[in-house]
Amino acid sequence: MQEYWELYMKTIDGNIASVLVNAGISADLPSEDKFTMGFIKLTMQAPNDKGMICEDEEAQLSFIEDKIEMEALRYRIGNYVGKITSNGVITFIYYLKYDFEWPDVVQTAMKEFPEYSYEFGSKMDPQWEIYSKLLFPTPIEWQIIHNHKVCDNLKVNGDSLHLPRAIEHKAYFETPQQREKFVEHIESESFKIKELMEPNENTSMVGLSFYRQDKPFYYDIDALTLHLINLSIQCEGQYDGWETSVVKI
């Protein structure tokens, strides 16, 4: 399986959650020989006030995670696909070739950490629904992941992210009429049209690029792009991301 990990935040059962997922395996689902999902729910000893990992415990929890993975590899039992951290608990998730040795994997790994309480189990999941519906990001969550990567890159290049500047966006639609409806909405919100794009050898859709003066700070750009995603969906189209230039103080 290809290794490509993403870390992002979401809300699960009303609680904030940090999700780490191996997104690289998504093209190969479901695996023909791994239909069983195995889990370990580990209770943290000193979570922060949001139920997340605190700095003092981070190294030990990483060591536990590595130990579990080492035992899973030693038993050749399956693949580690992700973890969820929320409400003082870390849930490690594996997909298994078979589950009769899963208790041995867990107990062998955890015997070195008697100070931690945990529970574990397994269940059949032939369609990998836990992975695809709980771990794997939704289109909106992917957009937020992309937003934060662009913001991080801007910061690395000396941008404070708090200064407004032209932020350019793109969206695509099946018909010119859908695009026109979208244009009416965004022009009423002070966006300017940069270019109308017609079908070409790469796509049968019509598109447009448009821009407005906005701040690319994390929360601001998240709110803006989620609004544009919802607006494009209302017009039966799809939002296709944003870009901007570095602005230094």
**pLDDT per residue as tens digits for the range 29-50:** 777 677 899 999 999 999 999 9
135, 158, 183 - which closes a domain: 135
Task: Give the C-alpha separation, 226 to 147, whole Å.
Answer: 11
List phi, psi (to 5°) of 208: -160, 155
Max CA-CA distance within the chain?
64
79 with 146, same domain? no
pTM: 0.82
Residue 34, domain member (yes or no): yes
Across residues 17-34, what is the average pLDDT?
A: 85
Do 152 and 232 fall within a single domain? yes
Q: Which of 113, 135, 157 is the last residue of a domain?
A: 135
Confidence at residue 1, expressed as pLDDT on a 0 to 100 scale: 62
In angstroms, rounded to a whole number, what is the distance separating the alpha carbons of residues 88 and 70?
24
**% of the chain with per-residue pLDDT over 70:** 99
Q: E strands within the chain?
A: 5-12, 15-22, 36-43, 78-86, 89-96, 118-124, 165-173, 192-197, 206-214, 237-243
Residues 35 and 118 in one domain: yes
- Please tell me whether residues 43 and 85 are part of one structural domain: yes
Domain boundary among 135, 165, 180: 135
Strand partners, 30: none
Is the same domain home to 222 and 164? Answer: yes
The residue whose two tokens read 């909106």 is 140
Domain region containing 173? 139-243
CATH of the domain at 11: 3.30.70
Same domain, 172 and 215: yes
Tens digit of each residue's pLDDT (9 = 90 or more) over 84-127: 999 999 999 999 988 899 999 999 999 999 999 999 999 999 99
- Residue 143 and residue 118 share a domain: no
Asked if residue 180 and residue 148 are part of one domain, the reply reads yes
pLDDT of residue 203: 86
Whether residues 157 and 192 fall in one domain: yes
In a domain, 230, yes or no: yes
Condensed to tens digits (0 to 9), the pLDDT of residues 54-89 reads 999 999 999 999 999 999 999 999 899 999 999 999
Q: Is residue 109 domain-shared with residue 207, that is, in the same domain? A: no
Q: Is residue 63 part of a domain?
A: yes
Please state the rounded mean pLDDT for residues 4-31: 89
62 and 155, same domain (yes or no): no
- What is the pairing mode between strands 206-214 and 165-173? antiparallel
Contacts of 174 (CB under 8 A, 6+ apart): 205, 206, 236, 237
State the total domains in the chain: 2
Q: Does 248 fall in a domain? A: no
The per-residue pLDDT for range 223-236, each reduced to its tens digit, is 999 999 999 999 99
List the structure tokens of 217: 């700070």
Per-residue model confidence as pLDDT tens digits over 138-188: 999 999 999 999 999 999 999 999 999 999 999 999 999 999 999 999 999
Do 56 and 170 lie in a common domain?
Answer: no
Considering the domain boundaries, does residue 249 fall inside one? no
